[in-house]
A = this chain, B = another copy of it.
Amino acid sequence: MSRIDAPSPSGRRSSRRVTLADVAARVGTSTITVSRALRRPEMVSPALRARIAEAVHELGYIPDPAAQALASQRTSVIGVLIPSVTNNVFSDVLSGVYSAVSGTPYKVQLGNTRYRSETEEELIRVFLSQRPAGLVVAGVDQTPEARTLLERAGCPVVQIMDLAQDPIDMMVGFSHHEAAQAATEHLIAQGYRAPAFIGARMDPRSTRRRAGFRAALDAAGLPVEGHEMVTNDASSVSLGGTLLDRLLAQAPETDAVFCNNDDLALGVQFAALRRGFRIGESFGVCGFNDFEVNAAAYPTLTSLRTFRHDMGRTAMEKILARLDDRDPGPRIADLGFRLMPRESTRRG
Which A residues have a C-beta under 8 Å from some C-beta of B? 8-10, 12-15, 62-67, 69-70, 73-75, 84-86, 88, 91-92, 94-95, 98, 102, 107-110, 112, 125-126, 128-131, 152, 154, 236-238, 240-241, 263, 266-267, 269-271, 273-274, 292-293, 295-298
Q: Which of A66, A110, A130, A270 has the most CB of B within 10 A?
A: A66
Chain B residue nearest to A131 (CB atoms) is: B66
Chain B residue nearest to A309 (CB atoms) is: B86
A8 to B74, CA, bound (A): 13
CB <8 Å contact, B297 and A270: yes
Residues from chain B with a CB closer than 8 A to the CB of A266 are: 293, 296
- 30 cross-chain CB contacts under 8 A: A9-B73, A12-B74, A13-B154, A65-B130, A66-B66, A66-B67, A66-B69, A66-B75, A66-B131, A67-B70, A84-B95, A85-B91, A85-B98, A86-B88, A86-B92, A86-B94, A86-B95, A88-B88, A88-B91, A91-B91, A108-B109, A109-B109, A237-B292, A237-B296, A237-B297, A240-B296, A263-B293, A266-B293, A267-B296, A270-B298
Q: How many copies does the complex hold?
A: 2
Q: Which of A15, A92, A238 has the most CB of B within 10 A?
A: A238
Contact flag A129-B10 (CB < 8 Å), given A86-B92, A293-B237: no
Chain B residue nearest to A266 (CB atoms) is: B293
Residues from chain B with a CB closer than 8 A to the CB of A75 are: 66
- Taking the closest CB of chain B, its distance from the CB of A181, in whole angstroms, is 28
CB <8 Å contact, A12 and B154: yes
Chain B residue nearest to A60 (CB atoms) is: B125
CB <8 Å contact, B112 and A98: yes
A14 to B154, CA, bound (A): 9
CB <8 Å contact, B62 and A70: no
Residues from chain B with a CB closer than 8 A to the CB of A65 are: 66, 69, 129-130
- Which 9 interchain pairs have the tightest Cβ spacing? A66-B69, A62-B129, A238-B296, A270-B298, A237-B296, A273-B298, A237-B293, A66-B70, A85-B94
Q: Which of A65, A69, A109 has the most CB of B within 10 A?
A: A65
Residues from chain B with a CB closer than 8 A to the CB of A70 are: 64, 66-67, 70
CB <8 Å contact, B95 and A63: no
- Taking the closest CB of chain B, its distance from the CB of A278, in whole angstroms, is 14
Contact flag A63-B152 (CB < 8 Å), given A73-B13, A98-B85, A292-B238: no
Contact flag A102-B112 (CB < 8 Å), given A125-B62, A292-B238, A296-B267: yes
- Taking the closest CB of chain B, its distance from the CB of A184, in whole angstroms, is 24
Q: A10-B73, A67-B70, A237-B297 known; 16 other A-B pairs, CB under 8 Å?
A: A9-B73, A62-B126, A62-B128, A64-B70, A65-B130, A66-B67, A66-B130, A70-B70, A86-B88, A109-B109, A236-B292, A237-B293, A263-B293, A266-B293, A270-B298, A273-B298
